[in-house]
Structure 1
Amino acid sequence: MATIKVKLVKSTIGALPKHRATVEALGLRKIGQVVEKEDNAQMHGMVNKVSHLVKIVE
């Protein structure tokens, strides 16, 4: 199955509680951390919601 790599590029300090929870649900804790997730609609929705905090790594 296809996967995407998501990297946390900005701190969640000052972010909305919903956005913090989304970042935590993605499995990201530290800036610069990269996690590999399944490439499905749910993950794309989560990444789009916090697109100002994360980026997709090729």
Structure 2
Amino acid sequence: MANNQQQKTVKVQLVRSPIGTKESHRATVRGLGLRKLNSTSELEDTPAVRGMINKVDYLVKVL
């Protein structure tokens, strides 16, 4: 039972400033829970989150 309750997670870090990027990309960065430069966020590994990371892949690093 314990194995079913383990969630796969992915850790992302904001490595470039979203200043000067499209508004939708800035909103995506905020949606990932990233505020300041080098801030990290640990998120559930779902297709939606993977899509968000893929959209702003030039701003973030997956740890």
Shorter-chain TM range is over 0.9
- What displacement does 1:55 show? 1.1
Matched, 1:49 2:41: no
- What displacement does 1:9 show? 0.3
Distance 1:4 1:41 in 2: 11
Aligned length: 57
Q: Point out the structure with max Rg over C-alpha.
A: 2
Higher RCO (CA 8 Å, separation ≥ 6 residues):
1
Which of 3, 6, 22 is the aligned partner of 2:12?
6
Structure 1: runs of 5 or more not aligned: none
TM-score (norm 1): 0.95
